[in-house]
Amino acid sequence: MHIDLGCVRWLMMDHDIVIVRAGACNICPLNRMRGLVINVTVIETGKEPGGTWVCAASVHWGC
C-alpha cells in the first residue's frame, strides 16, 4: 500500500483528523468524531467502495 504523504499533509490543513486505511475498526470512531463536529476525512486505497463501507451507508452502528 502506498499513501502519498504530501496528500495527507494537504488534507490536514483543512481537517482536524485524517484516518488512513479506515477498515471496520475505524467506522465507530469516525461516526463519533462526526457527532462531536470534528472535521474528519478518510483515505482508503481501494479502487471503489465495498465491504464494510457499503453496509455503513445503510446500517446504524450502535457505537
Q: What is the DSSP string of 7-40?
A: HHHHHHTT-SEEEES--GGGHHHHHHHHHTT--E
Determine the Cα angle at 28 with ends 4 and 8, to 5°. Answer: 15
Find cell 470534528 and name the residue. Answer: 38
- What number is the average pLDDT over the span 56-60? 43
CB contact at 8 A, 40 and 19: yes
Tens of pLDDT along 44-53? Answer: 666 655 555 4
pTM attached to this predicted model:
0.47
pLDDT value of residue 39: 80
Give residue limits of the domains in the chain: 5-56
Tens of pLDDT along 26-49? Answer: 677 777 877 887 787 777 666 655
